[in-house]
Each structure stands twice: as C-alpha cells, then as structure tokens.
Amino acid sequence: MLSIGLNSGTFTINTELQNPICQKCNDDLKRNAVREFLETTCSYSVENKTCSRSYPACEVGKQAPVLDGLRMGKILLSVLTAVLGVTLYCVFNRSETKVDFPKTGYYGSGEPKPDDTSIKPFKIQVADKDIQDLKDRLKSARIGHQQLEDVPDFEYGFPLSTLQQWRDHWLNKYDWRKHEAQLNAFPQFTTQVEGLRIHFIHAKPPAGYKKVVPLLLAHGWPGNVYEFYKLIPMLTDPKKHGLGDKVAFEVVAPSIPGYGWSEASHKRGLSVFVVARIFKKLMTDRLKFPKYLVQGGDWGSVVANAQGKLYPESLIGVHLNLAMLNMAHPATFIRQIIGSYFPSLVFEDPAFSEFSLKKDLFFMVKESGYLHIQATKPDTVGVGLNDSPLGLLAYIGEKFSTWTNPSFVQAKDGGLEKFFTKDEVLTIISIYWFNQNILPSQRLYRESFHNPDYLKFQDMYNSAPTGVSYFPHDLVASPKELLLHSMNLTHYTVQKDGGHFAAFQLPKVLAEDVFKFAASRL
C-alpha cells in the first residue's frame, strides 16, 4: 500500500484491482478517472477468496465512496506535477558520472608478459575419455530425495520425475559428437588478450552482399556461444532466411573468459567491465574493425551497454535484448512508483498497462537466490556443480524453464520443450561440463558486484546509439520511459512473446529487430 497525505485527508492506494470480489470497489473509480484511490481499502484473501470484513466498503454489493471534484483535482494535480518534475529532471540531469577505467590489465598466470596477438584456428575436440566419464557419472548419480506428492511442477525447482527423464536422455540418447560437429561448422579461432586465451566464432557472409557490417554477439549466463547457433546463419545470410538482401553481418561471437573455450582468469578482478574491454580489444586491435555493432542479452547486455559507455567512438550502435534499469538514478525509481499506480501517465506502450514495481520486486527476490550466492561465495556452490552432472543439469535446466516464461514453473515438464529440444539444452550444459566452466562462470558475479566502481558504472550514461528489443517474459520490465535518461535510446521494440534467452528461443524475431536497428544506423 502507498499512502498520500493531502490537506483534505489521507488516501490509500488499492493494489488489488484484479480481485473479482473487490470489483465493486473499483467501479466508481473507473468512472471518475482516478482508478486506484480509495478512502478504505480491501484486503483480499487468496486462500478464502473473500475480502476482509474489517473493511465494509469492500464487501460485495456495497458502493465505494466517490471522490469529489476537489479531491480528485488535487490528486491529479499532484501526480501530474510529479510526472512533470521527473521529466524535467531526466532532461536536465542526465548522468554525467565518469569512471577512470584502466586501459588494460593482466589476468593470465604468473607475472605479466606480452600477449601473443596472433589469431589461431580452433576446433572443438572433446576427448573420448571425458565423454565416458560423463556417462559413468550419470549412471552412478545418487538420487536420495523423494518428490513431494503434492508438488508435481517446478515450484520447488527441478522436480525428480522430470530430472530422471532428462538423465535418461543425456545418458542413452544424447550424442555429443553430433553437436560438436554442428559447432565446428562455424569458423572458430583463439587469440590472447590481457593474458587470457579468448575463443571466438568468426562467421562471414557469402559473396553478393553490398553492405557487410561487423557485429559482436555477447552471450550471458547460464548460456554460452551455442545460444547463437540458429541466430548466426540468419545474420550472415539474411536473404536465405527471408530477412532481406541489403545488409549482412560479419559475426564475431566470443566466449566470456571462464565460459566455453575461453581461459578463466587466474587473478581476482575480472568483472563484466573488464570483459567489455577485452571484447573491444578483440574487435579493434586483433580483428582491426574501426567500428562495429554490438548485441547482447543477460551478461552480454551489460557488456554491450558498458562498451557504449566506455568506447562509444568505436561503435556503430548497441543493441540489447535485456535492458537493465539504472536504479542509481532517482528518476528511475520515481517513474516506477508513479507508473505502478498510473501507468498510462508514464508509459506509452499498452504492454505496460499493468506495470507493477511490487510484482517485479517480488519476482526478482523469488528468482535471485542464485545471484546472491554467486555474488558472494561462488567457489562453494561451484565445487558441487562441477562434480555432479545431474546437479548441473538441475541447476541450469531450471533457469531455462523459469526465465523463458515465469508461468512455466506450474508445468510438470517446466515447459522446457516448448521452445527448445532436450538436445539443445543439454548441449549448453555439456559445454559447461566438459570445460569445467560452472565455477569460473559464477565468479563473474562476485567480481562484477564487488567492483568498487560498480555503482558508478551503473550511473554512467551510454552515449552510443542504442536499440532495445523488449521480450515480455524477461527478468526485468524495461519500458522505454525508464531507459531514456541512462542511454541514447534511438530504437525500441516491444515483442509479442519471448523471454530471457531470446537468441536461443526466437532467433528470427531477434534477427529482424537487429536488422531494423542496423538499417537506422547505416
């Protein structure tokens, strides 16, 4: 509840608009264009499906009090004044925070030494003994718990019945060599940057395209470059996939250090901002692109956004399918508060007509337990996950369920095969397993959130032209109005469906938006 004090009294905002029994309390409000103010508030019981009788004005059949014109005018005037104040604040107080970020670092083993700047061809070759070790561990995996009789879905995490099905598939039907060959169809290379071996895919378009644009694709957690295996062909040969013939991309998709086939840091301090610097060096110093476009989701979106803040002169533009809000900026929080109660006054797109800060915060608290442990003690949880393929499957697989669509938590199979195949998800997990990535990948959270300049980085303005493709089931609701004061937003699209793993789930939808954004920049 939110109370607003006025000369004529105190009003309370009713946040339970969707409860059918309380609908009578909202009828008059709709007619008076002040939808969410009540002198008395209903307290709805989900369990009993009734309103609390301590609030008689909310009982079925009783009419809510009608706000008189004077009170309604004061309320609207207060809200409009706040909105105007926020707007002026955003226009005249864009973040001018600067960070004195080092131009280089060294994260290799031992004392600093010069990088080997050569670019070497790379081929994925998992040893037969490692494949057999995985099968042996799956066979002997210890499952000592019982599934709760009245919890058939993903409410408690990856349920036992579904876990056993996936274990059987991974052990008896999954063919790593098939997917290894699929990945090796992309040209791959390694080079050394800041003391670390960096792995990357470098896919070029076929001859015939008049305009070719370099594009850096940045992945996140718990993904890796395999997320892009359907997207890359669409970007490099759009004509073949019905995406036009005016522009094609020369795609560079590197593995974050500690992910995939990139070497993990040997020293503390490798934050996501260091990753942004390493990837920038890869594009401009190793591959000699004077300017390039960068696209990312999850950590990849933070990498891309950081490049827009640190190296805008090297970018054609930044495209994000996850736009993190600048919570260090007061205007963000103020707009969220007002938008939660008067969405039409703050947000233009009807997709945010039911925007709720309370709902978003509750979802983040419920789903961010992994983040807290990875940002504090990654080596503790990492040991167990690195030793148990079944544990790794449950830990990562659950994210591909809930983060694709929060409602999938209510499905017995977690909705995992609605957009992905078992083989696709298991390939993501197998890459973590064979490379022993899970522990170093989790360290990125600690290094990033413990960076002394983290809040300053968050408050920096991204001056590079930036496009956002918003997928409605992603982790963060990102209306464009909450982004304008933190980035140079020149392109914004609200998609009809999709969640956190857009490149993996809806590659053509994402590709279409990247092409639209690129067209606006060329």
Q: Which residues are catalytic?
A: 298, 445, 500
- Rounded Cα distance, 170 and 359, in Å: 36
- Rounded Cα distance, 317 and 213, in Å: 11
Omega of the bond prior to 222 within 30 degrees of 0, cis? yes
DSSP state of 285: I
Q: Dihedral sign, CA of 323, 329, 335, 337?
A: positive
Q: What count of Cα atoms within 13 Å lies in the side-chain half-sphere of residue 262?
A: 29
CA 37 to chain centre: 34
Contact by Cβ (8 Å): 261, 294: no
- Rounded Cα distance, 184 and 123, in Å: 6
Instruction: Look at residue 358 and give its three-state secondary structure.
Output: helix
Element (H, E) at 126: none
Secondary structure of 467-494 in HEC code, one letter for each residue: EEEECCCCCCCCCHHHCCCCEEEEEEEE
DSSP state of 481: G
- Rounded Cα distance, 197 and 279, in Å: 12
Tally Cβ neighbours within 10 Å of residue 40: 14
- DSSP per-residue letters across 170-186: HHHT--HHHHHHHHHTS
